[in-house]
Structure 1
Amino acid sequence: MPPAPLRRRSVLMGLATVPLAPRLAHAQAVRDVVATTGMIADTTRVLGAESVAVRALMGPGVDPHSYRQTRSDIVALINADLTLWHGLFLEAQMEDFFGDLASRKPVVAVADSLPHDRLLGHDQYPDRFDPHVWMDPSLWSIVSDTIAEALLANGAGAAVEAALGPWQLELAALGAYAQEVLATVPAEQRVLVTAHDAFKYFGRAFDFEVQGIQGISTESEAGVARIEALVNLLVERRIRAVFVESSVSDRGLRALLEGAAARGHEVVIGGQLFSDAMGEAGTYEGTYLGMIDHNVTLVARALGGTAPQGGRIGQLGAQS
């Protein structure tokens, strides 16, 4: 079970030496934005264009479920004109900090805007939702509207208004591509087995059964019974591939391969998916569009479907 969020009287107390920027008035134009995840940061850069400078706290390979803010993060957040975080208990260890910060600065939990009837339940906390909504481009479209509203409310008008429409068209095209290529995967192979349960929204959107070794949070532990159940699934349904994740250990997946092999069924690693973090900066996979394109294309090809090796626009594997 993931540790409870840190409880503090005020996480901002005791930082008297940190230089504080004045609280941003809504009429003042946004200059510096701090975002927690790469997905939020990339979307903000697209929508804000030249009007904003965006810093992401969590880079490639970083697990947001267990991330705790550093002192340099705190300085950046206090001095930012706008802070955008995901919400839905993704940044579990930072919730109290953002509650404190919101009393002093503009702070927006962008995924909290999603209608509850579009959200899936959390496997460990019945009163919370699965936070991995970026796996469905139609949900990320709603989150993008919230990011745009936050930028507009803080003065980044013309750039956002010009960028939002084209961005929404890109998200729609990405969703259509995903539907098209994933539909080519044979029905009996439409099972996505990964290191942790980050792909339920992907499964719902594109009609895949999704099985994670760990639960929604990477802090949960996979027991022997869970490994054995997944080995049975792979063998009985003749699933050909499982997938590692860029921000999660592959130890459990290796156990699946060994267990299936011991029972005479070969399973391969279908490739590395981006789950809680995007690819390296400067690559197509280091953008939100590239991250999802990579996942969709890789899953389709590894499970017997048809998809172009270069993805939706031929950019997979290319430097941006």
Structure 2
Amino acid sequence: MKKITYTIVVAVILSLSACKTDAKKADNGKLNVVTTTTMITDLLHNIGGDAINVVGLMGSGVDPHLYKASEGDVAKLVDSDVVFYGGLHLEGKLVEVFEKMEKTNKKTVAVSDALDKKELIGSEYFASNYDPHIWFNVLFWKRITTYVANELKKLDPKNTAIYEENSKMYLEKLAKLDSDLRETISQLPEEKRVLVTAHDAFNYFGKSYGFNVVGLQGISTATEAGVQDVQELSKFIIDNKVKAIFVETSVPKRTIEALQASVQSKNQNVTIGGTLYSDALGDKGTVEGTYIGMFRYNVTTIVAALK
């Protein structure tokens, strides 16, 4: 898929948006929604249901930190009525595109705006100075659900009842998810709750559920792990008797394999406990292809490997 520079992306979107008519929307009368990550796409499907058209830019296994817009993405953005994205520089330079689109009549919504910055985990190593992996706090995701539903109601008031009913049902499912996760995690002794992954995507998860989380790479996968990082983390694994470490679907597994090899070179053993979903959901149509299914799978995998 051909990638294009962000200067061209912005220029094309602004010029075509100025000429755009309502013909596209008039096809079925529904709101045309574009989303970035798979987590946000799943959220909009749950809240909007059949009342909206949803098109996601990123698919399963796609790393939003490194994602670059394609020519096809430009067409999707031009035809949209609203764009929902993560914010906090999760989508890298795409955020610049969304911010400039907002200066036209194109509506863009950062779902992270639903949260108070004081509640976020700070990071001096990330562009926004905040960890953007906010979906790993279910209570945050519940708040974001209400925020997104309210934004849809403003844009499409005739379907207010649908958005209210769908969001209410989804909030109930999220409450059940949080309760079930806590029950599963309670099976794991506190001293074993050490989660070592490819990059720092799970800090909100750790804070919510009592895990010590250590990532080989930083919060953004744009930051490469060096030899010293591998050596330091292998020592941590040995000192803390960590049984298993985890690969992520959106990050090349070679970094974790290098970490495992480093531990083994010191005559110690650590297994790769499984592959976790971090920056993207699983394949469409699978259980892990939904936010709730992804979270359940991750926690079950983690607990089973660390027990």
TM-score for both structures, normalised by structure 1:
0.87
Cα distance in 2, alignment partners of residues 235 and 205 from structure 1: 25
Q: Cα distance, 1:60 vs. partner?
A: 0.4
What amino acid is aligned across from residue 34 of structure 2 in structure 1?
V
Aligned to 2:40: 40
How big is the shift at 1:263?
Answer: 1.8
Cα separation, 2, equivalents of 1:115 and 1:185: 31
Equivalent position amino acid for 1:72 in 2:
G
How far residue 101 of structure 1 moved from its aligned partner, in angstroms, is: 1.5
Kindly indicate whether the alpha-carbon contact (under 8 Å) linking 1:11 and 1:97 is maintained by their aligned counterparts in 2.
yes
Q: Which amino acid aligns with 1:274?
A: Y
Matches within 5 A, 1:224-239: 224-239=227-242
| CA distances 1:217-274 after superposition (whole Å, capped 9, x unpaired) | 0000111111111111111111110000000011111111111112222111110100
Q: Judging changes above 3 Å, is the alpha-carbon distance between structure 1 residues 68 and 126 closer, same or farther for their aligned structure 2 residues?
A: closer
Give the equivalent residue in structure 1 for 2:88: 88
Greater displacement, 106-115 / 213-222? 106-115
Q: 2:278 aligns with which of 272, 275, 279?
A: 275
Number of aligned residue pairs: 297
Q: 1:104 deviation in Å? A: 2.1
Listed as ranges, the matches of 1:274-293 within 5 Å are 274-293=277-296
Is residue 167 of structure 1 aligned with residue 170 of structure 2? yes
State the partner residue of 2:130: 129
Indicate whether 1:184 and 2:183 are aligned: no
Q: Is 1:118 the equivalent of 2:82?
A: no
User: Distance between the aligned counterparts of 1:176 and 1:14, measured in 2?
Assistant: 43
In 1, the alpha carbon distance for the partners of 2:183 and 2:124 equals 30
User: 2: distance between equivalents of 1:90 and 1:17?
Assistant: 26
Cα distance in 1 for residues equivalent to 2:219 and 2:167 = 31
Which position in structure 1 is the counterpart of 2:201?
198
**Secondary structure of the structure 2 residue equivalent to 1:75:** helix
Change (3 A) 1:21 1:285: farther
Answer whether contact 1:84 1:109 (CA < 8 A) is retained.
Answer: yes
| Offset at residue 100 of structure 1 (A) | 2.0
Going by fraction, where is helix more abundant, 1 or 2? Answer: 2
**Paired AA for residue 155 in structure 2:** N
Contact 1:23 1:104 in 2 (8 A): no
Contact 2:196 2:245 (C-alpha < 8 Å) held by counterparts = yes
Equivalent-residue separation in structure 1 for 2:127 and 2:31 (angstroms): 39
* Residue 141 in structure 1 maps to residue 125 in structure 2: no
* Matched residue type, 1:171: L
CA–CA distance in 1 between the matches of 2:6 and 2:246? Answer: 36
Partner of 1:97: 97
Question: How far has the Cα of 1:188 moved from its partner?
Answer: 2.4
How much does 1:12 deviate?
2.7
Code of the aligned partner of 1:12:
A
Percent of residue pairs bearing the same amino acid type: 36
CA distance in 1, matches of 2:164, 2:24: 21
- Post-superposition offset of 1:10: 7.7
Q: Structure 2: how far apart are the matches of 1:49 and 1:202?
A: 28
**Corresponding residue SS for 1:33:** strand
Letter in 2 for 1:167: Y
State the match for 2:61 in structure 1.
61
Q: Answer yes or no: is the 8 Å Cα contact 2:245–2:270 preserved in 1.
A: yes
Query: Deviation of residue 20 (structure 1)?
Result: 2.3
Look up the equivalent residue of 2:113 and give its one-letter code: D
In the TM superposition, what is the alpha-carbon distance from 1:119 to its structure 2 partner?
0.5
SS in 2 for 1:213: strand
Consecutive aligned runs of 4 or more in structure 1 exceeding 6 Å deviation: none
Structure 1: which amino acid aligns with 2:109? Answer: V
Corresponding residue for residue 297 of structure 1: 300
C-alpha RMSD over aligned residues: 2.3
- Distance in 2, matches of 1:100 and 1:23, equals 24
- Unaligned runs of at least 5 residues, structure 2: none
CA distance in structure 2 between the aligned counterparts of 1:95 and 1:257, rounded to whole angstroms: 35
Q: Give the whole-Å Cα distance in 2 for the aligned partners of 1:227 and 1:203.
A: 21
From 210, 220, 245, the equivalent of 1:217 is: 220
In the alignment, what sits opposite 2:246? 243
Offset of 1:195 from its aligned partner?
A: 0.4
